Amino acid sequence: MTNSSAEAMIATPVLTGALVLVVGPSGAGKDALMEGARGALADDRRFRFARRLITRPALAGAEDHDSCDEAGFVAARARGELALSWAAHGLHYGIPARELAGIAGGEVVIANISRGAIGAAEALAERVVVVEITAPAAILAKRLAARGRESEADIAKRLSREARLVTERAALRRIVNDRSIAEGASELLGLLRALAGPA
């Protein structure tokens, strides 16, 4: 399954707080920048990085997430346990409702989602910011080639499908990650801290 689809639970109440939706194309370094920001904010209780539920096993060196099979995922969604869910590349992804609970108390919750899920996610909080992490096409192509997972033709096709991101009501910020991981993570950190206000 290559197309992304998203759905928000209709019964999910609108929350009051800050929800940061991080999106970006493959090769942009999104995971690296998020990991850098997560490490820097580990002891700051104003921030929470939402832990995702994914229908794949945990892999060494990959994102730390909760795993389940497809039947378990469907059941969790039916029970109303997922505030947001989407499908991409043959897998199901979800943000558990419990991960967003702190928004009502002023917490800044950072969630890694698919751009196809933005529309549904915008309904989950009053203050929503979409952070698009991207990079010039040449840099994206180089990073994807270094992974060795796709042919040059497949990479070119993937990059040609990337459309400019737009939002309905969320504020949109872009980080062009064509520098070091430390510099990119620092920019993301500055944005997140500005949302939280004084410590």
Mean pLDDT in residue range 129-150: 86
Q: What is the DSSP code (8-state) at residue 56?
A: S
Binding residues: 24-31
- Residue 21: is its pLDDT beyond 90? yes
What is the reported pLDDT for 168?
87
**If we measure between CA atoms, which residue out of 38, 12, 30 comes closest to residue 165?**
30
Binding residues for ATP: 24-31
- What is the distance between the alpha carbons of residues 101 and 162, in angstroms, rounded to a whole number? 32
What is the reported pLDDT for 6?
60
Q: What is the DSSP code (8-state) at residue 89?
A: T
Q: Which CATH code fits 5-193?
A: 3.40.50.300
pLDDT tens-place string over residues 140-175: 888 888 877 777 777 777 776 766 787 889 999 999
**Confidence grade of residue 19 (pLDDT, cut at 50, 70, 90):** very high
What is the reported pLDDT for 63?
67
Question: pTM score > 0.75 for this model?
Answer: yes
What is the reported pLDDT for 38?
95
Q: Which long-range contacts (CB under 8 A, 24 or more apart) does 8-14 make?
A: 8/83, 8/84, 8/120, 8/121, 8/123, 8/124, 9/77, 9/80, 9/82, 9/83, 9/84, 9/97, 11/80, 12/83, 12/97, 12/123, 12/124, 14/123, 14/124, 14/125, 14/126
> Could you state, in order of their start, the residue ranges of all structural domains in the chain?
5-193
Q: What is the mean pLDDT of the chain?
A: 86
